[in-house]
Each structure stands twice: as C-alpha cells, then as structure tokens.
C-alpha cells in the first residue's frame, strides 16, 4: 500500500523469504527452473518518490554504504523501465531509498527495492498499470522482481516469472538471522551445478490454514541451495545450527541463496526473546524478529 506524503509517495520494500526452494538442472539458456514458496516479512527498506524534473536516487540508512559503488542499481533500472513502458521519457522523480536490509543476503532486498520503485512511481506519475503489468515490467529487471511486485505469499516458478498467489497460508512468527557474510547468488548456483543436479521435480500443493499445517508442509520440502551455500560460506551452517538449537524453534532453514537463515516459532514473543539472546552472543550479526505474512 502506498502512503501519500505532502511532497510525494512512500512504499515499503519488505524482505522476501523463501520458505522452500527447489532448483532444477540449468536450461540451455543458463537459467535454472525453480519452484519456491515465498513470503514477505514486516521488516525491510523504504522508498520515497517526490516530484522532480530529473530522475535521481539517493541512498541512506544503516546499509547505505554497501550500495555506494552501485550508481545504476535495480531501483534506477526499475524507474527507467517503467518510464519506457509508459512512453513518457519526460517523467522525473527524486527517489530516496532507506536501506535497512543486508545486501547479498538471500532476502531479495534489491529485487524488493526495484518492485517498490515500480509501485511508488506508478502512484507518483499517476500511471494506469496493474500489478500484473508491473510484474511483467519487473521481469526484465530481475527474476525475483515479479514476486516482489505482488509482495504476498505466493508460489514462484518458471525462472521466477510465474507467480501464483496462495489461496491459504498463515502468518508465521519467525526470526531472520544474517551472520554478517555477503553471499552472491552466482557462485552459489555454480556450486550447485558442480553437483550435477537432476531436473526439477514436481512440486507439492502449497497450502496451509494454520501454523501446524504450514510446518508439516515445510518439513516435507527443502532449500536445494543450502548445501552449496554451506560449502561456500561456513557462517551459513553456523547460523542454521544456532537457530536449530534455540528454545522454541520449530523449523530452521536458509532463505534464497543465503546467507540469511530463518527459524519459525510458536509466537512472536518467543522469536523476540531468541533474537535478544543471539544479539548478546553475536553482536555483529543481525537478528530480526518478524512476522512472515500470509495470503493478502
């Protein structure tokens, strides 16, 4: 939902969490078919768009320094793509990204920022694009952008461009843990390919009505990139071991291509207590208690 400001429009760019991620052998074009259950957290970045003659981007916040060497990041690419799709090259905006999510963390931060830019500029420029059309535009920017445009519990398939919102999925209390190590997607997929993976297997039905049903569904699946990520980044294994041993943790798994991991708890209070324990023991890590949103 957009928040209209006195001088512009604001959009939230939530962290994307892959509760499951099945990956198949690379296709002839180099892309991997995948099947993933994706949800979004109530923790993320923020984008503000204000009227301007030019199209510019300023980055601030705790994680701004991680993007200082990326003058043409996904937010600007999204803005250029939207302007081109509208056929309105004269459109401008002053964009401000407040960066809170860790970078190269398996949380879809860049893709979610790009998706939020598409939504916020559609509102600012008063364009007549539906979410489905914005997702199509987003697919030219990155494989995760379409699902982030919808920003709701969904099944992501194809190479990421096929997004099917879930009819029934509960909100889940969770803890997202980032061990402070950046882990780029490319090397993880290359390590995955070295193990000669097979074709993508048929996925199960993705639906659940409550926490226990969701846990049963998730326990029957996995993240196929977890093993190669552990080999490349030992901190991933350390984070998963730590989450698994937390009191009240029901399930622990890596998100996306890592290095962020998550654990699901019975209550948000339990997740908050565990986050406090981890921050005392690992002050250089990021531990965020969150609610992973269900179907909108």
Query: How many other CB atoms are there within 10 angstroms of residue 281's CB atom?
Result: 10
Quote the Cα angle for 200-204-207, to 5°: 135
Residue 63 is predicted with a pLDDT of 85
- 25 vs 32: CA distance, rounded Å: 6
Quote the Cα angle for 166-18-62, to 5°: 120
Asked whether the beta carbons of 48 and 120 are under 8 A apart, the reply is yes
Task: Pinpoint the residues of the chain covered by CATH 3.30.70.890.
Answer: 172-292
Tell me the β-bridge partners of 252. 263
Question: To which H or E segment does residue 61 belong?
Answer: none
Q: What are the DSSP E strand ranges found in the chain?
A: 3-4, 9-23, 34-51, 55-60, 93-98, 154-157, 162-165, 172-178, 249-254, 261-265, 286-292
Query: How many other CB atoms are there within 10 angstroms of residue 151's CB atom?
Result: 24
HEC profile of 87-99: CCCCCCEEEEEEC
Residue 206 confidence (pLDDT) above 90? no
Percentage with pLDDT > 90 across the chain: 86
Return phi, psi of residue 62, to 5°. -60, -30
Residue 104 is predicted with a pLDDT of 87
- Terminal CA-to-CA distance of the chain, rounded, Å? 11
Residue 72 is predicted with a pLDDT of 64
Report, as an integer, the average pLDDT of 114-140. Answer: 96
DSSP-derived pairing of the beta strands 93-98 and 55-60: parallel
pLDDT in tens, 78-124: 999 999 999 999 999 999 999 999 998 999 999 999 999 999 999 99
CA 160 from centroid of its chain's CA atoms: 12
Residue 213 is predicted with a pLDDT of 95
Report, as an integer, the average pLDDT of 66-81. Answer: 84
HEC profile of 212-242: HHHHHHHHCCCECCHHHHHHHCHHHHHHHHH
Asked whether the beta carbons of 250 and 236 are under 8 A apart, the reply is no
Query: How many other CB atoms are there within 10 angstroms of residue 220's CB atom?
Result: 9
- 29 vs 37: CA distance, rounded Å: 24
DSSP 66: G
Residue 4 is predicted with a pLDDT of 57
pLDDT in tens, 231-265: 999 999 999 999 999 999 999 999 999 999 999 99
Residue 217 confidence (pLDDT) above 90? yes
Task: Pinpoint the residues of the chain covered by CATH 3.30.230.10.
Answer: 3-165
Residue 1 confidence (pLDDT) above 70? no
Identify the band that residue 133 occupies on the pLDDT scale cut at 50, 70 and 90: very high
- Catalytic residue numbers? 16, 144
Q: Which fold has domain 3-165?
A: Ribosomal Protein S5; domain 2 (3.30.230)
Identify the band that residue 202 occupies on the pLDDT scale cut at 50, 70 and 90: confident
Report, as an integer, the average pLDDT of 138-166. Answer: 93
Tell me the β-bridge partners of 34. 23
Residue 8 is predicted with a pLDDT of 86
Q: Is 152 helix (H, G, I), strand (E, B) or coil?
A: coil
Identify the band that residue 23 occupies on the pLDDT scale cut at 50, 70 and 90: very high
Asked whether the beta carbons of 49 and 78 are under 8 A apart, the reply is no
Instruction: Tell which CATH architecture fits domain 172-292.
Output: 2-Layer Sandwich (3.30)
Residue 68 is predicted with a pLDDT of 72
Identify the band that residue 289 occupies on the pLDDT scale cut at 50, 70 and 90: very high
């Amino acid at each position: 939902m957009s928040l209209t400001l006195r001088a512009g429009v604001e959009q939230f760019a939530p962290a994307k969490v892959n509760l499951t991620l099945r990956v198949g052998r690379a296709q002839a074009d180099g892309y991997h078919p995948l099947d993933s259950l994706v949800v979004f957290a109530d923790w993320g970045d923020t984008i503000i768009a204000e009227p301007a003659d030019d199209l510019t981007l300023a980055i601030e916040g705790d994680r701004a320094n991680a993007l200082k060497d990326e003058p043409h990041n996904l937010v600007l690419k999204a803005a250029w793509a939207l302007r081109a799709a509208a056929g309105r090259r004269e459109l401008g905006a002053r964009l401000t990204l407040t960066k809170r999510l860790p970078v190269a963390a398996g949380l879809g931060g860049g893709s979610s920022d790009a998706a939020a830019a598409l939504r916020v500029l559609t509102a600012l420029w008063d364009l007549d694009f539906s979410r489905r059309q914005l997702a199509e535009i987003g697919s030219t920017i990155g494989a995760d952008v379409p699902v982030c445009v919808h920003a709701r519990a969904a099944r992501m398939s194809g190479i990421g461009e096929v997004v099917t919102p879930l009819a029934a999925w509960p909100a889940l209390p969770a803890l997202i843990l980032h061990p402070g190590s950046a882990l780029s997607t490319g090397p993880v997929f290359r390590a995955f390919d070295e193990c000669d993976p097979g074709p993508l297997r048929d996925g199960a039905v993705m639906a659940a009505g409550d926490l226990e049903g969701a846990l049963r569904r998730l326990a029957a699946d996995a993240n196929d990139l977890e093993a190669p990520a552990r080999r490349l980044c030992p901190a991933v294994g350390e984070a998963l071991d730590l989450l698994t041993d937390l009191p009240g943790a029901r399930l622990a798994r890596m998100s996306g291509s890592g290095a962020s991991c998550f654990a699901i708890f019975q209550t948000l209070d339990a997740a908050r207590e565990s986050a406090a324990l981890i921050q005392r023991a690992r002050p250089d890590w990021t531990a965020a208690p969150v609610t992973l949103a269900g179907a909108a």
